[in-house]
Homo-oligomer: A and B are copies of this chain.
Amino acid sequence: MIELSKAEFEVLDALWLSYPATASQIIERLSDEKQWHEKTIKTLLGRLVKKGALSFEKDGRQYIYTPCMERAEYTLKESQNFIERFFSGRIAPLVSGFAKSEQLSQQDINELKKVIDDWEKQQK
């Protein structure tokens, strides 16, 4: 699995919003939430390319970046990894921890029920 740092992920996430995109578009998107210097983002883009998380094409003097994988694919792998490390691969204990500490809303419960419902329909 490609290992991304927090900051790298945030840059990739800004690209996932819509791609392909240029560095300046990505910088623009990130400008609201983060106070990163433009140079910082460029560095992170370079590291993402080096790690194989992004590819790019040249367009004049600019690069046009595209993610090498989908967000869902990446977050699934990260999730599996996380659940393996902290909960021996079982997902229920994670949810249960949230429930016990009153972190679940009725909406979360409804959404979870729907996921279970869909899963069961899928099975039959």
Number of interface residues of A (CB under 8 A): 37
Please determine whether B118 and A92 come into contact, CB atoms closer than 8 angstroms.
Answer: no
Enumerate chain B residues within 8 angstroms of A114, measured Cβ to Cβ: 92
Most buried by B among A90, A92, A99, A111: A92
Q: Is the Cβ of B97 less than 8 Å from the Cβ of A86? A: no
Q: How far apart are the CA atoms of A41 and B78 in the complex, in Å?
A: 26
Interface string of A65-106 (1 = CB under 8 A from B): 000000010011011101001110011101111111101100
Copies of the chain in the assembly = 2
Q: Chain B contacts of A100 at CB under 8 A?
A: 72
Cβ of A17 within 8 Å of any chain B Cβ, yes or no, is: no
* A59 at the binding interface (Cβ < 8 Å): no
Residues of B within 8 A of A86 (CB): 75, 78-79
Contact at A91–B104, with CB atoms within 8 Å? Answer: yes
Given A92-B108, A113-B116, A116-B113, the answer on whether A97 and B85 have CB atoms closer than 8 Å is: no
Cβ 8 A contact of A97, one of B76, B90, B97: B76
Instruction: State whether the Cβ of A120 lies closer than 8 Å to any Cβ in chain B.
Output: yes
- Known contacts A6-B85, A119-B99; is A92 also within 8 Å of B112 by CB? yes
